Chains A and B, each alone.
Chain A
Amino acid sequence: MSSRLPLVPENTEPLPSLKENQGMLTWVASVDHKQIGLMYLIITMVFFVVGGLEALLMRIQLAQPEMSFISPEVYNQLFTMHGTTMIFFVVMPFLIGVGVYMVPLMIGARDMAFPRLNALSFWLIVFGGILIYYSFLTQSGAPDMGWFAYSPLSEKPFSLNKGPTYWALGLLATGISSVASGLNNIVTILTMRTPGMSMRRIPLFVWMILVTSFLLIFVIPIIASAFAMMLLDRLLGAAFFTPAHGGSAILWQHFFWGFGHPEVYILILPAFGIISEVIPVFSRKPIFGYEFVAGSTVAIGLLSVGVWAHHMFAVGLGDVANLYFSFASMLIAIPTGVKVLNWVATMWGGKIIFATPMLFATAFIIEFVMGGLTGVAIASVPIDWVVTDSYFIVAHFHYVLYGGSMFAIFAGVYYWFPKFTGRMMSETLGKWHFWLTVIGFNMTFFVQHFLGVMGMPRRTYTYHDFPYWGSMNLISTIGAIVLAASVLVFIWNVQVSLRRGKKASNNPWHAWTLEWAASSPPAVHNFDLVPPVRGRRPLWDLAHPEQPDEPNAKVID
Chain B
Amino acid sequence: MEKLGGLFNPSSPEMEALAGLTYYTIAITVVILAIIVFAVFYIIVRYRKSPADKEEPYQNFGSLNLEIVWTLIPCAIVAVLFLLTCNTMKAVDPPVDGHEPDLIIIGHQWWWELRYTKSGVITANELHIPAGKYMLARVESIDVIHDFWVPELGRKIDAVPGHPNYLWIVAGQPGIYLGACAEFCGAQHANMRIRVIAESEEEFKEWEKQEIVIPPTPRSGLAGEGARLFQNKACMNCHTILGTAAAARVGPNLTHLNNRQTIGAGVLTNTPENLNKWLTNPQKYKQGSLMPNMKLSPAEVEAIVAYLEALK
A and B touch in their complex, CB below 8 angstroms: yes
With known contacts A73-B187, A286-B61, A380-B21, A455–B82 Cβ distance under 8 A: no
Say whether, besides A248-B162, A455-B180, A373 and B29 are in contact (CB < 8 Å): yes
Whole-angstrom CA separation of A377 from B77 in the bound complex: 12
Chain B: CB-nearest residue to A543: B56
Which of B33, B185, B193 is close to A370, meaning CB atoms less than 8 Å apart? B33
B residues less than 8 Å from A381 (CB atoms):
85, 89
The answer on a CB contact under 8 Å between B82 and A330 is: yes
| CB < 8 Å neighbour of B186 from A153, A290, A337 | A153
Taking the closest CB of chain A, its distance from the CB of B151, in whole angstroms, is: 4
Once A150-B184, A326-B85 are accepted as A-B contacts, the answer to whether A389 and B49 lie under 8 Å apart by CB is: no
- In-complex Cβ contact of A290 among B61, B85, B185 (8 A): B61
Cβ 8 A contact of B3, one of A72, A388, A467: A467
Q: Is the CB of A72 within 8 A of B160?
A: no
Kindly state the separation between the CA atoms of A153 and B182 in the bound complex, as whole angstroms: 14
**Contact residues of A between 352 and 375, Cβ < 8 Å to B:** 352-354, 362, 365-366, 369-370, 373-374
Residues B67 and A338 in contact, CB atoms below 8 Å apart = yes
Chain B residues in 8 Å Cβ range of A47: none
Contact B44 A362 (CB under 8 A): yes
Judging by beta carbons under 8 Å apart, are B161 and A454 in contact? Answer: no
Nearest-neighbour CB distance to chain B for A62, whole angstroms, equals 10
Partner of B62, one of A291, A337, A459: A291
| Complex: A349 Cα to B49 Cα, angstroms | 10
Given the complex of chains A and B, what is the CA–CA distance between A382 and B92 in angstroms?
A: 8
- Contact: A389 with B156, CB < 8 Å? yes
| B window 28-43: CB within 8 A of A | 29, 32-33, 36-37, 39-40, 43
Interface membership of A298, Cβ < 8 A? no
A348 to B88, CA, bound (A): 39
Q: Is the CB of A385 within 8 A of B18?
A: yes
Query: Which chain B residues lie closer than 8 Å to A350 at the CB level?
Result: 43, 47, 49, 57
Q: For window 117-158 of chain B, which residues contact chain A by CB distance below 8 Å?
A: 143-145, 147, 149, 151-152, 155-158
Q: How far is the CA of A315 from the CA of B190 in the complex (A)?
A: 20
B220 interfacial contact with A, CB 8 Å: no
Nearest residue, chain B, Cβ from A449:
B26
A385 and B168 alpha carbons, distance in the complex (Å) = 13
A272 to B161, CA, bound (A): 40
Give the distance in Å from the alpha carbon of A122 to the alpha carbon of B204 in the complex.
Answer: 64
- Evaluate contact between A377 and B29: CB separation under 8 angstroms: yes
A188 to B149, CA, bound (A): 50
Question: When chains A and B are docked, how far (Å) is the Cα of A557 from the Cα of B51?
Answer: 39
Interface check A383, CB cutoff 8 A: yes
Cβ-based interface call for A547 (8 A)? yes
B184 contacts across to A, CB distance below 8 A: 76, 145-146, 150, 153, 389, 458-459
Which of chain B's residues have a CB closer than 8 A to the CB of A340? 36
Contact A288 B182 (CB under 8 A): no
Are A352 and B43 CB-contacts (below 8 A) given A150-B184, A326-B85, A383-B21? yes
Q: Which of B157, B162, B184, B287 has the most CB of A within 10 A?
A: B184
Given contacts A290-B62, A389-B183, contact A314 B147 (CB under 8 A): yes
- Can you name the residue of chain B whose Cβ is closest to the Cβ of A293? B62
Chain A, range 493-532, C-beta contacts under 8 Å to B:
none
Answer whether A72 and B190 are a contact pair too, CB < 8 Å, given A243-B161, A288-B62.
yes
CB of A385 within 8 A of CB of B78, answer: no
Interface hit among B4-12, B233-241, B297-305: B4-12
Question: Is the CB–CB distance between B186 and A158 below 8 Å?
Answer: yes
Knowing A382-B89, A468-B2 touch, does A457 contact B149 (C-beta < 8 A)? yes
Among listed B68-76, B98-106, B249-257, interface-contacting one: B68-76
Contact of A351 among B56, B88, B144, B187 (CB under 8 A): B56
**What B residues does A218 contact at CB under 8 A?**
none
Of all chain A residues, the one with the shortest Cβ separation from B8 is A454
Give the distance to chain B from A203, nearest Cβ to Cβ, in Å: 15
Q: In B187-210, which residues have CB < 8 Å from any A CB? A: 187-191, 193
Which residues of chain A come closer than 8 Å to B258, judged between CB atoms? none
Given contacts A158-B144, A383-B18, contact A152 B161 (CB under 8 A): yes
- Hey, which chain B residues are within 8 Å of A169, CB to CB? none
State how many angstroms separate the Cβ of A502 from the closest Cβ of chain B: 18
Q: Does A194 contact B (CB under 8 A)?
A: no
Within the assembled complex, what's the spacing in Å between the Cα atoms of A344 and B60? 13
Is there an interface contact between A314 and B29, defined as CB atoms closer than 8 Å? no
Pick from B43, B75, B149: contact of A348, CB under 8 Å: B43
B160 touches A286 (CB 8 A): no
> Is the beta-carbon distance between A72 and B288 smaller than 8 angstroms?
yes
Q: Are A322 and B25 in contact (CB under 8 A)?
A: no
| A370 CA to B29 CA, complexed, in Å | 8
Q: Are A362 and B89 in contact (CB under 8 A)?
A: no
A284 at the interface (CB under 8 A from B): yes
**Cβ contact within 8 Å between A71 and B47:** no
> In the bound complex, what is the Cα–Cα distance between A150 and B186 (angstroms)?
11
Within 8 Å by CB of A345, from B48, B66, B189, lies B66
**Shortest Cβ distance from A538 into chain B, in angstroms?**
15
Within 8 A of B (CB), among A142-191: 145-146, 150, 152-153, 158
**B33 and A330 contact, CB distance less than 8 A:** no
Contact of B22 with A by CB under 8 A = yes
Whether B81 pairs with A249 at a CB distance below 8 angstroms is no
**CA–CA, A145 to B145, complex, Å?**
12
B163 at the interface (CB under 8 A from A): yes
- Would you call B179 an interface residue if the criterion is a C-beta within 8 Å of the partner chain's C-beta atoms? yes
A30 at the interface (CB under 8 A from B): no
Q: Which of A150, A290, A291 has the most CB of B within 10 A?
A: A150
Rounded to whole Å, the gap between the CB of A431 and the closest CB of chain B is: 14
Q: A285-B57, A330-B81 are in contact. Are A373 and B33 (CB under 8 A)?
A: yes
Scoring A residues 375 to 402 as 1 if CB is less than 8 Å from chain B, else 0, what string do you get?
0110111110111111000000000000
Find out whether the CB atom of A386 lies under 8 angstroms from the CB atom of B18. Answer: yes
Return chain B residues, CB-CB under 8 Å to A386.
7, 18-19, 22, 151, 155-156
Closest Cβ neighbor of B187 among chain A residues: A72
Assess A366 versus B40: contact at CB under 8 Å? Given A152-B161, A385-B92: yes
Given the complex, which residues of B lie within 8 Å of A453, measured CB to CB? 6-8, 22, 151
> Do A466 and B60 touch (CB < 8 A)?
no
Q: For chain A residues 241-261, which have a beta carbon within 8 Å of chain B? A: 243-244, 248-250
Asked whether any CB of chain A lies closer than 8 Å to the CB of B84, the reply is yes
Q: Name the contact of A152 in the complex, choosing from B5, B22, B70, B143 (C-beta under 8 A).
A: B143
Q: Is the CB of B61 within 8 A of A316?
A: no
Given A387-B22, A390-B182, 6 other A-B contacts at CB below 8 A?
A243-B163, A288-B61, A369-B32, A454-B6, A461-B190, A467-B4
* Pairs A–B under 8 Å by Cβ, sample size 27: A71-B287, A73-B288, A76-B186, A158-B143, A322-B89, A337-B70, A337-B74, A344-B39, A344-B40, A345-B60, A351-B57, A382-B89, A383-B18, A383-B25, A385-B92, A386-B151, A389-B149, A389-B182, A453-B6, A453-B8, A453-B151, A454-B6, A455-B180, A464-B266, A467-B3, A467-B5, A468-B4
**8 closest Cβ pairs, A-B complex:** A243-B162, A385-B155, A467-B2, A460-B190, A455-B151, A351-B49, A316-B165, A455-B6
